[in-house]
């Protein structure tokens, strides 16, 4: 099984973070799982990793509908980060939205690798690991 160094969850809903963190931990596919409850906090974390020479998350799950900085606004700022950060991170949107426009918008963004619907499940997690990380070895 693929094992990641770090997964970052960005969602304003505490129970959602709780559940998803538990799911990832129990799947045993990451050394650490970090949860942030807003887009701003997520960005700060990425910047602090880069500045503090802490390993960046390999995988980010990003919610869309959040107060203040929503998922789309997060992506605007994320885009401005150093390219070395973006090249190390795989970003997947994890949303309740069934709106096809959201899906399309995500697909058109270079920074977004995938779009999945809540609830997040072990099967989805395994598929992501299989699709995006398996070829990297480990």
Partner 1 sequence: MQSEGMNDSLGKEDFLEFVFKELMAISKGTSTLDEESFAKAENQEQLQVLEGLIYLNEDLDLYKTELNAKVVALEKKNEELAQFNYIASHDLQEPLRTVTSFSKMLAKENKDTLNETGLEYLNFILQASERMQQLIMELLDYSRIGRDKVLVDIDCNRLVELVLLDMSAVMMDQKAEVRVEELPEIKGYKTEMRQLFQNLVSNAIKFRKKDSIPKISISAERGDSHWIFKVRDNGIGIAEKHKDRIFGIFQRLHSKKKYEGTGIGLAHCKKIVEIHNGEIWLDSELGEGSTFYFKIPYNY
- Kindly state whether residue 68 participates in binding partner 1, applying the rule CB under 8 A: yes
- Kindly state whether residue 15 participates in binding partner 1, applying the rule CB under 8 A: yes
Stretch that binds partner 1, among 27-35, 67-75, 82-90, 107-115 (CB under 8 A): 67-75
Q: With CA atoms as reference, report the closest residue to 85 among 32, 44, 115, 119.
A: 44
Footprint (CB under 8 A) of partner 1, residues 111-130: none
Nearer residue to partner 1 within complex by CB, 45 or 58: 45
- Kindly state whether residue 63 participates in binding partner 1, applying the rule CB under 8 A: no
- Kindly state whether residue 12 participates in binding partner 1, applying the rule CB under 8 A: yes
User: Going residue by residue from 69 to 108, which x/- string records binding to partner 1, judged by CB under 8 A?
Assistant: ----x-----------------------------------
Least distance (Å) between residue 90 CB and partner 1: 26
d(C-alpha 79, C-alpha 123), whole Å: 29
Stretch that binds partner 1, among 13-21, 54-62, 77-85, 127-135 (CB under 8 A): 13-21
């Amino acid at each position: 099984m693929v094992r990641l160094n770090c997964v970052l969850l960005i969602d304003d809903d505490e129970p959602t973070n709780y559940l998803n963190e538990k799911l990832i931990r129990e799947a045993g596919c990451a050394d650490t799982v970090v949860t942030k409850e807003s887009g701003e906090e997520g960005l700060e974390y990425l910047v602090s990793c880069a500045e503090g020479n802490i390993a960046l998350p390999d995988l980010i799950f990003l919610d869309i509908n959040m107060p203040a900085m929503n998922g789309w606004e997060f992506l605007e700022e994320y885009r401005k980060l150093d390219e070395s950060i973006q090249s190390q991170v795989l970003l997947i949107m994890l949303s309740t939205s069934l709106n096809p426009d959201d899906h399309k918008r995500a697909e058109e963004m270079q920074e977004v690798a995938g779009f999945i619907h809540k609830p997040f499940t072990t099967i989805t997690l395994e598929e992501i690991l299989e699709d995006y990380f398996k070829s990297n070895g480990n």
